[in-house]
Amino acid sequence: MGPVVGALERRGLIERAPDPAHQRILRTQLTRAGTRLLDQLSAVVAALEDEVLADLAPAQREAMIDGLRSCMRRRAAGIDTQP
C-alpha cells in the first residue's frame, strides 16, 4: 500500500498530514487535483458499466455490480476466494 500512496502523493493527487489528536497517525485526503481526476474517472467507469451491462435487465445489472463489488472487497481485504 505504501508505494501506491507514495505515487499518488508524488502526482499531487493526495496529501498526508499528521492526525492532530494522534501524531503517529498520518491522515490521507484527496487534493483538488485528486478530486477532479476521481470525478473524471467516475464518469468513465459509469459509461463502461453502461456499455458492458447494456443487455442485462436492471435487476441483473444490480446483481452483477453487487457481486463484482463483493469480489473486490474480499480481494482488497486479502480474503482467499479459492476453495
- Residue 49's SS3 state is helix
At residue 32, the pLDDT reads: 97
Q: What is the pLDDT of residues 34-80, one digit of tens each?
A: 999 999 999 999 999 899 999 999 999 999 989 999 998 888 887 66
CB 58 within 8 A of CB 46: no
> Quick one: which of 33, 27, 28, 26 has its CA closest to 12?
33
Over the stretch 2-35, which tens digit does the pLDDT of each residue have?
Answer: 788 899 999 999 999 988 898 888 899 999 999 9
pLDDT at 3: 86
* Report field, pTM of the whole predicted structure over 0.75: no
